[in-house]
A and B are shown apart, each in its own frame.
Chain A
Amino acid sequence: MANSSSAYRRILLRIGIAGVVVFAGLQFVRPELKNPEVTNELQAPPEVKDILRSACYDCHSNETKLAWFDQVVPAYWLVVRDVKTARQHLNFSELGAQPAAKQRAMLYEAINQVQLGAMPLAAYRRMHPEAHVSESELAVLRHYLETSTPQPEVSAAEVSAAEKQFSDWVAAGPASAKPPAAPNGIEFPADYRNWTPISSTDRFDNQSLRVILGNDTALKAIAENHINPWPDGSILAKVAWTQQKDGQGMVRTGAFQHVEFMIRDSRKYASTKGWGWARWRGTGLKPYGDRPSFSDECVGCHEPVQGNDYVYTAPIRGQR
């Protein structure tokens, strides 16, 4: 009895020592994480940058500062992976190289990710409570964009370009040539223009007007209030136009920019959250993206509304 229990203890001890040795040894398996030079930092006022610096820069910049507990393997491996992916998506140390409009669009996306609770990553927030963006900090970020986003009048050239686009479209007649499929193989849903409007948006972040349309399956789902998850066969379309202002407060749809789709098929599109994503641009309906994985960008920005089946729009009740 006594004998076997001390043998048991000895085995435990050996396993314990082996564990410590392996743990210590693993500490030397360290993928490299460099802080490259900061070349083109985002251009924004200091109060805005301060907030981003304390909440986001550990992952989204070349100024990553790891806490001691982040440096311990295996946590370190996860952190390195997060930082590398995060920098690919958004790097505040390099964003400044982009045109002002692109920087601004990224800031809108960043604020929305914060507002919807998607960023900073939840796992990081638990270990770094100081990285939480407070309501008042969020207000500072919002105020900055609200007051700095230009709302330009429309030039005469833009107006006549939109008029020409309209007359060319009318001359071409309805549904002319079928456009090429999107890089992920999705075919253009040609009948979209006859679907039913379920909402609309007026975007002051990028000066566009949009209408959101649903096909019959989507409309039935709305009527029955079964929109999470949306049933297979539902298709949502969003059409975007530039804003054409008349200088007296009326804003009409100007040039057609693009139409994009979310096509529900939970099996076929399982790898992209159950939706097929596709976008066609300009009246020439040029497919957007140059490889099948272009839809990572769509999914990434729709990720914060994951809990709503990746859909942003709240359809107006009472459709059909």
Chain B
Amino acid sequence: MRLRNRFATVFTAVAAVLLSGCTAPNPLIATHLNETAAFGGGVKLNPLQGKVITSWVDRRTAAMSTLTGNETAVRYARAGGGPAYPAGSTLSLATWGQVEDGRWFGARIPGAPRSVEIVTVSQDANGQRLYSYQKYEGAPLKRVVSREAGPADERLQFLISQRASVLP
């Protein structure tokens, strides 16, 4: 009886050691959504719901951005673009701080949101283009800027003059 008990103990210990190699789950692999990079707070428009125009990284601020647009904006950008987006265009720029990709040493991915910027283009009765610019910042995101913007507005110019990424 005692012998059998001891055998059971030893057997369990050996089995545990042998099994641990295959069962211990690596936390880096555990299934999860990227919660950190999610946009909450006071942003009405989901900044990523449109189609991709382009994306970039700013090394000075260790931030990465994705510029998306609605149908009108994307059609224009992919047809060659330039700063004359037609009325009805909406562009959204989502910007995150970068973090190391836990699943791939060699990659950086979106971390905490830094800002959301939204440009909408309309026109007045004379066919003159009108721009509005909104910016959200902070955690949770809050609207910090909302202005009518003219073509001389530097940030607006920057956003509407980015070349589309090639998507054949």
A interface with B by C-beta (< 8 Å): 108, 111-112, 115-117, 122-123, 125-126, 142, 145, 165-167, 169-170, 172, 174, 176, 192-206, 209, 211, 213, 222, 225, 227-228, 239, 241, 243, 248-253, 255-256, 259, 283, 285, 304-309, 312, 314-320
Judge if B127 is at the interface, Cβ distance under 8 Å: no
**Which of B32, B60, B66 is the one whose CB lies under 8 Å from A197?**
B66
Contacts of B30 in A (CB 8 A): 307-308
Q: Judging by beta carbons under 8 Å apart, are B110 and A316 in contact?
A: yes
**Which of A108, A204, A227, A241 is the one whose CB lies under 8 Å from B33?**
A227
Of chain A, the residue at the smallest CB distance from B108 is A202
Q: List 30 A-B contacts (CB under 8 A).
A: A116-B26, A142-B105, A174-B78, A193-B51, A193-B167, A194-B51, A194-B74, A198-B48, A200-B64, A200-B66, A202-B98, A203-B106, A209-B55, A209-B56, A209-B57, A211-B165, A228-B31, A250-B56, A252-B162, A253-B56, A256-B165, A256-B168, A304-B29, A307-B26, A307-B30, A312-B104, A317-B33, A317-B34, A317-B38, A319-B49
**Which of A167, A200, A206, A285 is the one whose CB lies under 8 Å from B106?**
A206
Stretch at the interface among B14-22, B118-126, B128-136, B146-154: B14-22
Q: Judging by beta carbons under 8 Å apart, are B165 and A112 in contact?
A: no
Of chain A, the residue at the smallest CB distance from B75 is A174
Q: Judging by beta carbons under 8 Å apart, are A239 and B167 in contact?
A: yes
**Which of B46, B80, B162 is the one whose CB lies under 8 Å from A318?**
B46
Give complex CA distance A112, B28 in Å: 11
Chain B contacts with A in 49-75, Cβ cutoff 8 A: 49, 51-52, 54-60, 64, 66, 68, 74
Interface SS majority for chain B: loop
Least CB distance from B95 to A in Å reads: 11
